[in-house]
């Protein structure tokens, strides 16, 4: 039985059920790196390029933390997950970054996932992996089990406890209770509590209802993407732009927070598009938060508190206006 290492980073936060179930179906031991912490961040900064985005730096840290404990690293080269669309080029190149920048890593399993031109079955995509491990006879069964598990992704989020001590002030929190906030961002920004300072958990503890893209019907997102005049090239960017438009047009939320990784090219472009959309809907308070390894908890706390106060103040103004009408 081989030990398969999977970094708890990047697309793990979207495809963890698929990947873990697949390797367990091949009767291999799956070892996932621990939740992100300060030590992993420091390793990532040490072993990655200076001008790379925070999620990739963290991914390098996760690789270093797990490499001595495993026989193989699973770093799929995910080029495209749908027709005529792409993932981030840094995700595509990540296996090469690891080979060039991190010494002494074990053998890397980096199958190419490319659905740009035609749909290829999950079984065919990972055949080479099964053959490398000598488990071709288990490939079909493992693939089917993995696909069934992945269908549950919209109802199961990878959770990770954070070392964060991020706490909101008590003053004003009563007026925040019952607010509805949409959190937008790549899964590795939303579901890694170290990156976002445990933001979802802290907001929920204040009685604020949190929405993400998982609360929107996939068919609604697809319809909204089809309505875009110039949809982005990247699958995640299309989904985020469509989700932002759906939240803005609906009466579902009071505000939207868009979490962005510094030095992320697609995020920088997408921010301009979402900013433009948000200006059309002044009743929904909108804020973007840019995150990198230098981001401090106090700064995030201050901005989020001001954001929540702005929503509460706007709601009070509406109530006063309605009462005097």
pLDDT above 90 for 129: yes
- CA–CA dist 177, 192 (Å, integer): 24
Which pLDDT does position 170 carry in this prediction? 45
Secondary structure E strands in 101-169: 107-109, 112-114
Name the token pair of 297. Answer: 């908890």
Which pLDDT does position 158 carry in this prediction? 42
Q: What is the pLDDT of residues 135-177, one digit of tens each?
A: 999 999 999 999 888 887 655 554 443 343 434 444 445 668 8
Name the token pair of 260. Answer: 């962005």
Q: Among the three residues 127, 155, 183, which one is the final residue of a domain in this structure? A: 155
* Closest listed residue to residue 245, CA positions, set 231, 224, 230: 224
Considering the domain architecture, whether residues 91 and 219 belong to the same structural domain is answered as no
* Closest listed residue to residue 7, CA positions, set 223, 119, 138, 160: 160
Higher pLDDT among residues 50 and 268, named by residue: 268
Q: Among the three residues 122, 155, 188, which one is the final residue of a domain in this structure? A: 155
Considering the domain architecture, whether residues 142 and 254 belong to the same structural domain is answered as no
Q: Among the three residues 121, 155, 189, which one is the final residue of a domain in this structure? A: 155
Considering the domain architecture, whether residues 20 and 115 belong to the same structural domain is answered as yes
Considering the domain architecture, whether residues 106 and 233 belong to the same structural domain is answered as no
CATH code of the domain in which 217 resides: 3.40.50.2300
Give the helix/strand (H/E) hosting 139. Answer: helix 139-150
Contact 149, 114 (CB under 8 A): no
Considering the domain architecture, whether residues 77 and 188 belong to the same structural domain is answered as no
Name the token pair of 319. Answer: 């109530």
Residue 201: burial class (beta carbons within 10 Å; 0-12, 13-18, 19+) = middle
Mean pLDDT of 76-80: 93
* Closest listed residue to residue 73, CA positions, set 126, 143, 145, 129: 129
- CA–CA dist 244, 238 (Å, integer): 10
- Indicate whether 94 belongs to any domain: yes
Considering the domain architecture, whether residues 180 and 320 belong to the same structural domain is answered as yes
Considering the domain architecture, whether residues 261 and 305 belong to the same structural domain is answered as yes
Mean pLDDT of 100-123: 86
* Closest listed residue to residue 106, CA positions, set 72, 74, 130: 72
Considering the domain architecture, whether residues 148 and 226 belong to the same structural domain is answered as no
Which pLDDT does position 169 carry in this prediction? 44
Considering the domain architecture, whether residues 144 and 246 belong to the same structural domain is answered as no
Number of domains in the chain: 2
pLDDT above 90 for 258: yes
> 27 is in which domain, residue-wise?
3-155
What's the pLDDT band for 234 if we cut at 50, 70, 90? very high
- Indicate whether 275 belongs to any domain: yes
Q: What is the pLDDT of residues 17-68, one digit of tens each?
A: 999 999 999 999 999 999 999 999 999 999 998 889 999 999 999 999 999 9
Mean pLDDT of 71-85: 93
Considering the domain architecture, whether residues 141 and 188 belong to the same structural domain is answered as no
Considering the domain architecture, whether residues 107 and 233 belong to the same structural domain is answered as no
Q: Distances from the Cα of 64 to the Cαs of 29, 31, 54, 67, 93, in angstroms?
A: 19, 13, 15, 5, 17
197: left (phi over 0), alpha (psi -120 to 50) or beta: left
Give the total residue count for the chain.
Answer: 325
């Amino acid at each position: 039985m081989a030990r398969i290492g999977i970094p708890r980073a990047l697309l793990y936060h979207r495809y963890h059920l698929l990947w873990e179930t697949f390797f367990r179906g091949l009767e291999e031991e799956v070892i996932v790196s621990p939740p992100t912490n300060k030590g992993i961040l420091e390793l990532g900064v040490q072993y990655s390029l200076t001008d790379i985005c925070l999620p990739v730096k963290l991914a390098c840290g996760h690789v270093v933390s797990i490499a001595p404990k495993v026989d193989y690293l699973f770093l799929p080269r995910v080029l495209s997950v749908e027709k005529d669309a792409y993932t981030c080029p840094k995700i595509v190149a990540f296996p090469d970054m690891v080979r060039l920048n991190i010494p002494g890593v074990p053998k890397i399993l980096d199958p190419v996932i490319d659905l740009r031109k035609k749909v290829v079955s999950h079984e065919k995509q990972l055949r080479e992996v099964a053959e490398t491990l000598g488990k071709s006879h288990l490939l079909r069964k493992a693939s089917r089990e993995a696909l069934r598990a992945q269908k549950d992704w919209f109802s199961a989020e990878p959770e990770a406890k954070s070392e964060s001590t991020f706490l909101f002030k008590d003053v004003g929190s009563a007026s925040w209770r019952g607010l509805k906030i949409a959190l937008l961002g790549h899964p590795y920004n939303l579901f890694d509590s170290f990156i976002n300072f445990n933001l979802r958990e802290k907001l929920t503890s204040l009685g604020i209802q949190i929405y993400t893209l998982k609360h929107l019907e996939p068919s609604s997102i697809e319809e909204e993407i089809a309505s875009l005049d110039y949809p982005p090239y990247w699958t995640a960017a299309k989904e985020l732009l469509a989700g932002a438009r759906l939240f803005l047009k609906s009466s579902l939320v009071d505000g939207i927070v868009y979490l962005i990784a510094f030095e992320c090219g697609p995020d920088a472009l997408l921010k301009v598009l979402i900013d433009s959309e948000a200006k059309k809907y002044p009743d929904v308070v909108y804020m973007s938060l840019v995150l990198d390894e230098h981001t401090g908890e106090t700064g995030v706390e201050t901005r989020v508190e001001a954001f929540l106060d702005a929503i509460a103040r706007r709601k009070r103004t509406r109530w006063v206006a309605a009462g005097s009408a």
